[in-house]
Amino acid sequence: MEGARVAEAQHVTIDRIWPDPAVDLDDDALASELLVADRMLRVNFVSSADGAATRGGLSGGLGDAADKRYFELLRRAADAVLVGAGTVRAEGYGALRVGEESVRWRVAHGLTPHPVFAIVSGSLDLDPSSPIFTEAPIRPVVITAAGHDTSGFAEVADVIEAGEGQHIDAAAAVAGLRARGLGRILNEGGPHLFGALLAADVVDELCLTLAPSLEAGDAPRITAGELPDPRGLSLAHVLRSGSTLLLRYARERMDGHHPEEQQP
Ligand SMILES: NC(=O)c1ccc[n+]([C@@H]2O[C@H](COP(=O)([O-])OP(=O)(O)OC[C@H]3O[C@@H](n4cnc5c(N)ncnc54)[C@H](OP(=O)(O)O)[C@@H]3O)[C@@H](O)[C@H]2O)c1
């Protein structure tokens, strides 16, 4: 992903269509409205107009310059970036590092220079000698189930144990990050991890880039797995750059219940 949705981040015009229409918003305006709460779990995906989450097996082909710019701003406003190991492997993630402008903005807003990179893996099929760990500007976190041998990561990462066997308890994973003071969590996918977070009902927001393309084929959607019932969303904003829409939804909670508040 360092080569896909991130590397080409550049300035491209982004307008707000709803609410409060405004043209050519600057990075500060866009990022500031993402710092809405100290504790929240935001999810970010790009999808084609017909629901494909990948092109040629990767997300990068779907994202244009506006998506890449906003992708960086979402990281700018996060304490931790949470990613499933499937996405880390498929997209070839390197060390998670925001740009210099983002570092300046973060420090001025009382955040650490870079967000913590947190990777969810049941199999621990991750290489501790990869740049993800060896070039990390801030010590990453590996989240796995209890009982695994995590000694290979002792030098390069902190480990959070959440769940048993191959199944990681998504609510416990989020609680483990929160216990480290990482309140603003950004999940960059993938579909299986998003599905697990939805099933655990710990998702507060979805930022969805709707790419102006039709892909057909059998690409995955942005969610995978089973949900006990559909999750409602309410629209928080609509940004536009050319024919690309950058949508932000809040998770609608009919009962006002926030499950993670019950976590220690
Ligand atoms: N359109 C977009 O914005 C976007 C964003 C992200 C990814 N993607 C695409 O999505 C595809 C990858 O999909 P994916 O669903 O495999 O990605 P994923 O959710 O990132 O990865 C699944 C893997 O993550 C770990 N994992 C996640 N949740 C778990 C849980 N509850 N319990 C145990 N392990 C868990 C497991 O790793 P282990 O196998 O190590 O146990 C599992 O195999 C790629 O093609 C990628 O390009 C698209």
Instruction: Say what the pLDDT of residue 10 is.
Output: 63
Name 69's Cβ contacts closer than 8 Å, sequence gap at least 6: 9, 10, 11, 12, 14, 27
Name 47's Cβ contacts closer than 8 Å, sequence gap at least 6: 53, 62, 208, 209, 210, 211, 221, 222
Q: Phi/psi of residue 150, each to 5°?
A: -105, 10
The domain spans of the chain are 2-253
Interatomic CA distance for residues 242 and 164, integer angstroms: 46
Cβ of residue 123 lying under 6 Å from some atom of ligand 1: yes
Closest CA to 64 of 5, 15, 2, 17: 5
Reduced to 3 states (helix: H, G, I; strand: E, B; else coil), residue 189 is coil
Which pLDDT tens digits describe the chain residue by residue (264 residues)?
444 566 455 679 999 999 999 999 999 999 999 998 999 999 999 999 999 999 999 999 999 999 999 999 999 999 999 999 999 999 999 999 999 999 999 999 999 999 999 999 999 999 999 999 999 999 999 999 999 999 999 999 999 999 998 789 999 999 999 999 999 999 999 999 999 999 999 999 999 999 999 999 999 999 999 999 999 999 999 999 999 999 999 998 755 544 444 333
According to CATH, the topology of domain 2-253 is: Dihydrofolate Reductase, subunit A (3.40.430)
Cβ of residue 168 lying under 6 Å from some atom of ligand 1: yes
Interatomic CA distance for residues 30 and 70, integer angstroms: 8
CA of 225 to the centre of ligand 1 (A): 11
Q: Phi/psi of residue 42, each to 5°?
A: -110, 140
Interatomic CA distance for residues 132 and 258, integer angstroms: 32
From 141, 193, 223, 244, mutation site for ligand 1 pocket: most ligand atoms within 8 A of C-beta: 193
Q: Residue 134: which H helix or E strand, with range?
A: helix 131-134
Tell me which residue has its CA closest to atom 27 in ligand 1: 193
CA of 23 to the centre of ligand 1 (A): 35
Interatomic CA distance for residues 235 and 1, integer angstroms: 27
Instruction: Say what the pLDDT of residue 11 is.
Output: 74
Tell me which residue has its CA closest to atom 21 in ligand 1: 86
Instruction: Say what the pLDDT of residue 165 is.
Output: 82
Q: Are 55 and 62 in contact (CB under 8 A)?
A: yes
Reduced to 3 states (helix: H, G, I; strand: E, B; else coil), residue 238 is strand
Interatomic CA distance for residues 29 and 254, integer angstroms: 30
Q: Are 69 and 12 in contact (CB under 8 A)?
A: yes
Instruction: Say what the pLDDT of residue 258 is.
Output: 46
Atom of ligand 1 nearest to the CA of 224: 15
Distance of CA 10 to the CA centre of its chain: 19
Cβ of residue 54 lying under 6 Å from some atom of ligand 1: yes
pTM, two decimals, is 0.94
